Amino acid sequence: MKLKDFYKTFKSDLMTDKEFVIGYLEEGGVSLFISALRDVVIASQEHLNNQLFNDLLNNDNPEMSLIFEVLNLLGLTINLKVKCEI
């Protein structure tokens, strides 16, 4: 059996279903979050062509400010909690 392409399978959900996107982004740690965010951007790119999206896709270690801006363009926000152990 041939597997379906990820983007063909989930493109509609990644473009239109915010609950699906939120669940997808929450699945793992920071590196998985950035990878998932790139997937969301790739799915949305044809409708939301923007330099910030390209900056995210072309950056292996994006700054948090870029991540916040991309999430904002997608209509999403995240809360960060800094834990300081002394």
Q: How confident is the model over 23-51, as pLDDT tens digits? A: 888 877 788 888 889 988 888 877 667 88
Domain span at 68: 10-73
- pLDDT at 86 exceeding the cut of 70: no
In order, the DSSP letters of 50-68 are -HHHHHHHT-SS--HHHHH
- What's the mean pLDDT when you consider all of the chain? 83
Assigned domain for 84 exists: no
Assigned domain for 5 exists: no
Assigned domain for 83 exists: no
Assigned domain for 86 exists: no
Q: How many domains does the chain have?
A: 1
- pLDDT at 66 exceeding the cut of 90: yes
- pLDDT at 84 exceeding the cut of 70: no
Return d(Cα 45, Cα 20) in angstroms, integer: 17
Return d(Cα 53, Cα 49) in angstroms, integer: 7
Assigned domain for 19 exists: yes
